[in-house]
Structure 1
Amino acid sequence: MTNAHILIVDDQESIRHFIEKAMIDQGYQVSTAGEGGKALELIESEEPDLVLLDLRLPDTHGLEILRRVKEDTPDLQVIIMTAFGDVESAVRAMKLGAHDYINKPINLDQLFITISKALESRKLWRELKHLRQKHTDRLSKDFVKGNSPLMQNVYETIEQVAQSDTTSVLIQGESGTGKEHVANLIHELSSRADKPFLEINCAAIPKELLESELFGHEKGAFTDARNQKQGLLEMANGGTLFLDEVGEMSLQVQVKLLRVLERMTFKRVGGTKDINVSVRIISATNQDLQRLCEEKMFREDLYYRLKVVPLRVPALRERPGDIMPLAKHFLYQFSKQFTKPFQGFSNEAEQVLMTYPWPGNIRELKNLMERTVLLESSDRIEAEMLKLGSGRTTREVDSPVAMLEKLLEEPGVPSEGIPFEPLMAEIEQSLILKASEASSWNQSRTAEILNLKRDKLRYRMKLYSITKPKRRRAA
């Protein structure tokens, strides 16, 4: 990268000239500034690849310039030039994001090596950023397929909550709705995106081992603890930890997790030393945590700490307008993967997909498309190719109103009981959305239609994460 553009910032003209000549001889483009204000102007107008920055400037301190640079252009590499012995300022500069520092008087050979490393670091940083953006774009496209108001509301909440990298999020929804996908997308859109995203399914780990997995352990903490081990909280430091099926966590572990959320500190199992971390906690569940709190199976204080922002991912049957866009997306994906000629669906096949209740949600739809494309050979999907896993083939069986009518008409109650809270929640959401759309999202009019007070309407809309859909910006 010998054609890179370097900005030299130093108040001494002799030093600027000395370094400028050496850099030009090496093939670099060079600009110079003797003051901090001029340096900031050049950074904005010329967009250099690297800045050589002296800390002692006539109009401001170099650390203030460094802070401004890292806020506005975090990928711009800065090398600090400092007087011999001013190690304290150099260390502060490194903490603010400087790539490295070099002592005066300048050793050109050392300077060339340091510049080369800094430019290589910038190149790698940009490549990583590009790959991460491609990953984020893919996640976004997969997630927002379809135009249902429910999913637009969810995506808007994701965009908003991603702007804060500390707020805890509780994702609720049935199995297969994409809760992990939501958590990953929040991380990728946040300022923590270049740090780890780690996940653990609390239901898949034996309860007696979950504490060690999360918090780590010291050597000898228990029978099989032969070595010290870092937990996921330490490994995710700076990034995001996703706790799936958080309702399966034991009360003992809940106490320790609460302390992390309150103080961002914890002790390893068997340890005495406090370990400080900066981790965003995103949790998910398909259970009713409020009911578990009432039954003393889940700590109420932890519940409210986890659900600073509650985010409900709707079931696929609640957003029928998204079924075919998702099905076509998966069909294209697997046709390409398996080199099959599928181009679309017959009308009968679309009718089957649209009337099936999808108890397994998006995961079931994706698996169906993968299995069908792999096992069948044709230019389009026919109805008879779709081997669905349930005898129920109409949406009405699973709709809230139909389920309620069936419960009221049939004698007795189902052996598995009546899903009162999920049923009432679905009915409430459907009514609020219908009234909101009828009133063009005017809350006063919506409240009138529903015969509710506005404060009660606002409470329910917040509870279900219902907001007015915004128009998506053109890509």
Structure 2
Amino acid sequence: MGATLLVIEDETLLGTELTRHYKNGGWEVEWAHTLGQARSMLLEQRLDPLLILSDMSLPDGSALDLMESIHGQYAHAEWILLTGYGSVPDSVRALRIGAYDFLEKPCELEHLDLIVASAARSARAQRHLIYQTQQRYQQYSSKAFVGHSQAAQEIRELLIKLTKVPFSALIIGGETGTGKGLVARILHYGGSRAQHPMVELNCAALPRELLESELFGHEAGAFTGAKARHLGLLEQAHGGTLFLDEIGEMPLDLQAKLLKVIEDRRVRRLGGSKETLVDVQILAASNRDLEQMSKEGGFRADLYHRLSVFRLRLPALREIKEDLDDLVPLFVAEFNAEARKQVKIIPERVWNQLRSHDWPGNVRELRNVVERCVLFSDDAVFAEQWLQLPGKITSSPSLVTPNNNAQVCLPLDGSMVLEDMDRYIIETALKRNHYNIAATARALGTTRETLRYRIQKHGLKSSKLPSS
């Protein structure tokens, strides 16, 4: 098992027996004879037990007092308390301050083993959750909103303040691709709800009926096809955060239902008769002007005012082009790591093209462009020919044949994934070089072996291709 069990027991016979038994069971056992000794182990020696098995009453006080005094000062551990004379007030207090179980002496070892095994599973699950939360916090700290522009600095400062207060709702505005989802994760994982769920819903991605069912849930038989109870996202996010992206696309009648849930903090599933308590922080995002929509009747004014406890507008990338200096190297490093590339040099002419582009797709478009250039780079130099920015398409010598100066143009609207782009480029180059492997490899700046591998990978074998 390899985990540490702390036994706090002043009776020598029982302490010896528990230590021997659990050491034989694979535990690393530490034995404290008094509360003072246990306190020293936990706080001064930094012992990090998975479980604490303690007598309730010891010569120097009650284990419950120790539990309360050190709560939150070390990694999560489950407490199992033993007592020779149980009392209702003590058992209530023990469970209230977080004890896993409260057992009376004498206790059969077989029964205690079951409790210990169950408590160990609970402690491991809690520690795993804490670890995941810490990892998420590191990934989505306020520093994750990158940029040295004045606007970026102001947003980071506001995010730091927001993560320290228990706000109920917030509206994130800004064009598509400006990082609204990133901001939502920073607010959740940096705040007090980080150890509870973060549930995301794109309101523009679902038809009205399915959106209602996903958001509020339904009971079995509520409508055709509802064969079982389904907990809605509001219930799933209980204690945590619900991120409603593109909330401006939500139908007005569902907006009214959502407002009632936010006001009452209760939700009723479709087809249900009972209301369920929900405690949810709402983060609403839209690339549309919700305030103007509420004035024109396209969005409920009462819901807008309820959600706009705080409002945060993210700037378009064209407004903060100085942040390219921070974003581009960040994305290059990310895709270097993913694709095992070594791109380190970004020529000045590349920077000039990046800075002169208006980036209608904002940071999302920039990320896609950098990904393509890094993945298609053959050495340490950023592949300029794959920028393919509108109005700035650079002739790619790898795709020019002696009798044909046509270029390969690829869509950047998400309609073609990277694998399809790769396949299309190779297929086009083969056709232009009359399926000559050597000529195509030279045109693409790669080896014949690599080209043959990619031809096979993409299923481009043809009778026109020479055999291996």
Scaled to the shorter chain, the TM-score interval is 0.7 to 0.9
1-structure distance, mates of 2:363, 2:161: 24
Contact 1:161 1:167 (8 Å CA) reproduced: no
Specify whether residues 91 and 207 from structure 1 end up closer, same or farther in structure 2 by C-alpha distance, changes over 3 A only: farther
Corresponding position of 1:21: 16
| 1:462 paired residue number | none
Alpha-carbon distance between aligned partners in 1 of 2:104 and 2:236, rounded to the nearest angstrom: 35
Aligned-pair CA distance for 1:85? 7.0
- AA aligned to 1:44 is L
* Corresponding residue of 1:99: 100
Task: Give the aligned residue type for 2:213.
Answer: S
1:360-379 pair list within 5 angstroms? 360-379=361-380
Could you tell me which amino acid in structure 2 is paired with residue 315 of structure 1? A
| Displacement of 1:373 | 2.3
Q: What is the match of residue 405 of structure 2?
A: none
Question: Any idea what the Cα deviations from partners look like across 1:78-128, whole Å, max 9, x if unmatched?
Answer: 223356775786466445433333233233443345345434543453344
Q: Which residue of 2 aligns with 1:447?
A: none
Q: State the distance in 2 between where 1:357 and 1:295 align.
A: 30
Tell me what 1:6 maps to.
6
Aligned to 2:176: 175
In structure 2, what is the equivalent of residue 465 of structure 1? none
Alignment check: 8 A CA contact 2:255 2:300 kept: yes
How far off is 1:180 after superposition?
Answer: 0.8
Please tell me whether the aligned partners of residues 166 and 280 of structure 1 are also in contact (alpha carbons under 8 angstroms).
Answer: yes
- Give unpaired runs (5+ residues) of structure 2: 395-468
Q: Is the 8 A contact 1:356 1:392 kept in 2?
A: no
1:397-424 per-residue CA deviation (whole Å, 9 max, x = no partner) reads xxxxxxxxxxxxxxxxxxxxxxxxxxxx
CA gap 1:57/1:365 in 2 versus in 1, 3 angstroms: same
Looking at structure 1, the residues matched to 83 and 203 of structure 2 have their Cα atoms a distance apart, in angstroms, of 51
One-letter code aligned to 1:6? L
User: Where does residue 44 of structure 1 map in the other structure?
Assistant: 43
The CA deviation at 1:243 is 0.5
2:339 — aligned with what? 338
Aligned residue number for residue 404 of structure 2: none
How far residue 250 of structure 1 moved from its aligned partner, in angstroms, is 1.9
Higher mean C-alpha deviation, range 108-117 or range 340-349: 108-117
1:349, CA displacement in angstroms?
Answer: 0.3
Q: Which residue of 2 aligns with 1:355?
A: 356
Larger mean Cα displacement after TM superposition, 75-84 or 178-187? 75-84
For residue 187 of structure 1, what is the amino acid of its counterpart? Answer: H
Aligned ranges 1:65-214 → 2 under 5 Å: 66-73=67-74, 75-82=76-83, 90=91, 93-94=94-95, 96-119=97-120, 121-140=122-141, 143-165=144-166, 167-214=168-215
How many Å separate the matches in 1 of 2:252 and 2:200? 20
2:140 aligns to what SS in structure 1?
Answer: helix
SS in 2 for 1:337: helix
Larger radius of gyration: 2
Q: What secondary structure sits across from 1:344 in the alignment?
A: coil
C-alpha change, 1:200 and 1:44, in structure 2 (3 Å) is: same
Equivalent residues in 2 for 1:293-308, closer than 5 Å = 293-308=294-309
Which residue pairs with 1:261 in the alignment? 262
Q: 2-side partners of 1:240 and 1:81: how far apart? A: 39
Greater relative contact order (CA < 8 Å, ≥ 6 in sequence): 1
Report the identity percentage: 37
Aligned partners of 2:34 and 2:59 also within 8 Å: no
CA contact (8 A) 2:100 2:119 kept: yes
Cα distance in 1 for partners of 2:144, 2:64 equals 42
Counterpart of 1:159 in 2: which secondary structure?
helix
Q: Superposition pairs for residues 278-317 of structure 1, below 5 Å?
A: 278-317=279-318
Tell which deviates more after alignment, 63-72 or 354-363. 63-72
Would the aligned equivalents of 1:3 and 1:29 in 2 still touch at CA under 8 Å?
no
- Structure 1 residues 256-299: Cα deviation after superposition (integer angstroms, max 9, x where no partner): 22222223211111211011122221111111111111112222
Q: Counterparts of 2:393 and 2:318 in 1: how far apart (Å)?
A: 13
**Structure 1 counterpart SS, 2:230:** coil
**Following the alignment from structure 2 to structure 1, what is the Cα–Cα distance between the partners of residues 117 and 281?**
35
Deviations 1:114-169 (A, max 9, x none): 34543454345334433442333233488233322322222232232223455322
Q: Give the Cα separation in 1 of the matches to 2:139 and 2:46.
A: 29
Could you tell me which residue of structure 2 aligns to residue 452 of structure 1? none
TM-score (norm 2): 0.72
**Matches of 1:255 and 1:83 in 2, distance apart?**
58
Q: Distance in 2 between matches of 1:392 and 1:318?
A: 23
